[in-house]
Amino acid sequence: MTLPALLLLGISVAQAQGTMGGPSTGPGSRPMGDLSIRQLSLDLLESDRSERIFAVRELNRLARSNLRLADGPLQRDSTAEALSTLSGLDELAAPACILGLRHPELVAGCALLLGRLETAAALGPLQAAAQAEPRARSQRALAQAIAAIKQAVAEERAQQAKDGEAPPAAPRP
């Protein structure tokens, strides 16, 4: 290939990767690089339907990949980073997902995220959503999330009883 052709190809590849010029944009007008947990959590509540769906998908992707990394040895940096990310998801994304259960397009995705994070505070809202949800896919996701959270709460209580600590008050259904 000639030099001008290689330069043109290099520019095209750089533009496709979003490394030249201004920031490339994804859903809405936000730059693609701004996919922080905080911004995705805000998108669950304040944005249009397509951005809400994108946000819950990305939050689930983050949770899934970090849950895999969190099972590693505690001495590894990747394990510490994964635990930190999961903590951020539990702190920022879980409350947004609990509120996001009011949007029909988010029920299944938010239930999946809350179940992955085993967020005990979500048990009541998930059970309420399960009572009102007519779609089978969302019903399955809600049932799985409720079962995962109940199992995590039971395991935590068993561990606390084994350690001799007083168990916390049971969450209300």
Q: Determine, yes or no, domain membership for 21.
A: no
Q: Which H/E stretch holds residue 70?
A: helix 49-70
Per DSSP, the three-state class of 47 is coil
| Number of structural domains in the chain | 1
pLDDT in tens, 112-142: 999 999 999 999 999 999 999 999 999 999 9
For tokens 């009541």, name the residue: 124
Residue 23 lies in a domain: no
CA–CA–CA angle 117, 104, 60 (5° rounding): 30
Lowest-pLDDT choice from 30-39, 103-112, 146-155, 160-169:
30-39
In a domain, 8, yes or no: no
Q: Is residue 128 part of a domain?
A: yes
Cβ(89)–Cβ(63) below 8 Å: yes
Of 98, 90, 109, whose CA–CA distance to 51 is shortest? Answer: 109
In a domain, 16, yes or no: no
In a domain, residue 15? The reply is: no
The predicted structure's pLDDT at residue 166: 58
pLDDT one-digit tens code per residue, 21-33 = 333 344 444 444 4
Quickly tell me which residue has 């992707």 as its tokens.
61
Domain that holds residue 135: 33-163
pTM for the whole thing?
A: 0.74
Report yes or no on 6 lying in a domain: no
pLDDT at 34: 52
Express each pLDDT in 36-82 by its tens digit: 999 999 999 887 999 999 999 999 999 999 999 888 777 788 888 99
Q: What is the pLDDT of residue 171?
A: 56
CA atoms within 13 A on the CB side of 35: 18
In-domain check, residue 116: yes
